[in-house]
Structure 1
């Protein structure tokens, strides 16, 4: 009886974990959409030169985020169906999904830890290139991208040795504050990385917990009397009859004897 209570608690906890995984999946999808279509990134992907690696890095981030979202949704669906249907095969598949998700999240955390400075440097290189082109008097597309970046980040120009660079060729909107764009861009990227790491670490914790619960429930399913054995009925007891029963004995009189057995 005590073991059945543990199984019941594990089932409820796995369902609650799947609910939190669904919330994290929504958060990862939202962050992926911001990374893919957000103006803070598209303004630099559009202006990125061919020799800059930010375009490839941006594509990898969007692809990885989409893959994590799909894997989160698939794993939580498998786990939920496995618990509701009490299927040992589905529970084994859910455990494999949790393991694969664990490896994917660990790879993403390692990549964000090692390549954060590279992505930030690539974005700032794109901004510096646009800024220098406009300073040299190359108006046109470069100036349009630079003005767009200033409007998005609400900044204007950059500083050098604590002095504002003279920018006679750069026009900023009057509503834009005179903030250093380099520091503003860095702050926005740090905030973005913070939310990405928070979602990955939260998903990783729930993934490890889901692996433990799914493995426990998988082995408990091997004990046939633990989960109630829904749909499994035995008719062997129906062949037994009281010693004094005859062919003319009504069936209703045999039922108490069968239940007593």
Structure 2
């Protein structure tokens, strides 16, 4: 593949990758906002008013998602602008943004691999505290908070290991609420679906950032070496002409020599280089006796 063609292919791939990175940043921002302001997480955060483990994980996940989304969006915008304008500095800044996102996503993937149930355990602990407070407290505030959690997750109570519930625990699930699923299972299933979405976004982010770093480094070195310019073609890649057209053009430049068939007929042959006309050749030289006959006639006169 020719150098100019490789640069054009890399340029198109960089624009397509920047578009998908921008979509990925938007998805990460939406996931972070849903994790912080969504009804399922907001109701758990409202219950755990103290500085518990869930509160720390909740705030950390939100700010990390927003920062990653901002860096992805910044990298996509910088790489697109640098690709269109051929700016070396903007491409270096885009590479730096992608590198920071890659490091952060690698750390998140490492944490997700070694602590897969940390968020789930924190949410279940918050629900257990709300459940115990509603069972032991005589006031209606604790029960209202527990009912809000159960209505949000569409569950009710939690099953006893022995299958026996006390009077206050049995009063929490009556009528239609008794047909709902166990809250521990409902919360676990919801968090696992959310965790799978987060893991998918992390995997896609790692793949796109690695590919974007490779493309941005290639385009940066191409711009730095002077072989790629947006306003004009590169010096090392001149436009190629068709072989037939080039052969005709070279043939038209070469001068035409008069052929043997044109010489006896006295044809004029124009010269293509000098623009001069070739004089016709005299094919019939005069006879030797013609000069003596003319001299005798003059002497008689």
Task: State the TM-score, normalizing by the size of structure 1.
Answer: 0.82
2:182 is aligned with 1:180? yes
- Structure 1 distance, partners of 2:211, 2:139, is 56
Please report how far the alpha carbon of residue 136 of structure 1 lies from its aligned counterpart in structure 2 after TM superposition. 2.2
- Structure 2 distance, partners of 1:81, 1:14, is 11
Which structure 2 residues correspond to residues 6-45 of structure 1 after superposition, within 5 A? 6-45=6-45
Post-superposition Cα deviations, 1:119-177, rounded to whole Å, max 9, x if no partner, equal: 21121111111112222243322111110111011111111226263423415673674
The answer for the alignment partner of 1:237 in structure 2 is none
The answer for the alignment partner of 1:200 in structure 2 is 202
Distance 1:86 1:59, change over 3 A: same
- Assess if the C-alpha contact under 8 Å between 2:86 and 2:230 holds in 1: no
User: Does 208-217 or 111-120 show the bigger shift?
Assistant: 111-120
Which structure 2 residues correspond to residues 218-257 of structure 1 after superposition, within 5 A? 218-230=220-232
Distance 1:5 1:173, change over 3 A: farther
Write out the 4+ residue segments of structure 1 that deviate beyond 6 Å after TM superposition. none
- Assess if the C-alpha contact under 8 Å between 1:158 and 1:165 holds in 2: no
- Structure 1 distance, partners of 2:170, 2:216, is 65
Please report how far the alpha carbon of residue 57 of structure 1 lies from its aligned counterpart in structure 2 after TM superposition. 1.1
Name the SS for the 2:72 alignment partner. helix
Name which one, 1 or 2, has greater alpha-carbon Rg: 2
- Assess if the C-alpha contact under 8 Å between 2:45 and 2:55 holds in 1: yes
Task: State the TM-score, normalizing by the size of structure 2.
Answer: 0.72
Unaligned runs of 5+ in 2: 235-301
Unaligned runs of 5+ in 1: 233-261
Please report how far the alpha carbon of residue 100 of structure 1 lies from its aligned counterpart in structure 2 after TM superposition. 1.2
Tell me the matched-pair count: 232
- Structure 2 distance, partners of 1:66, 1:80, is 21
Please report how far the alpha carbon of residue 113 of structure 1 lies from its aligned counterpart in structure 2 after TM superposition. 2.7
The answer for the alignment partner of 2:123 in structure 1 is 123
User: Does 84-93 or 137-146 show the bigger shift?
Assistant: 137-146
Which structure 2 residues correspond to residues 101-112 of structure 1 after superposition, within 5 A? 101-112=101-112
Which structure 2 residues correspond to residues 135-154 of structure 1 after superposition, within 5 A? 135-154=135-154
2:155 is aligned with 1:159? no
- Assess if the C-alpha contact under 8 Å between 2:44 and 2:126 holds in 1: yes
- Structure 2 distance, partners of 1:49, 1:172, is 28
Please report how far the alpha carbon of residue 101 of structure 1 lies from its aligned counterpart in structure 2 after TM superposition. 1.3
Structure number with higher relative contact order (C-alpha < 8 Å, ≥ 6 residues apart)? 1
User: Does 76-85 or 155-164 show the bigger shift?
Assistant: 155-164
- In structure 2, which of residues 208, 211, 217 is the aligned counterpart of residue 215 of structure 1? 217
Distance 1:36 1:176, change over 3 A: farther
- Assess if the C-alpha contact under 8 Å between 1:11 and 1:217 holds in 2: yes
The answer for the alignment partner of 1:114 in structure 2 is 114
- Assess if the C-alpha contact under 8 Å between 2:40 and 2:153 holds in 1: yes
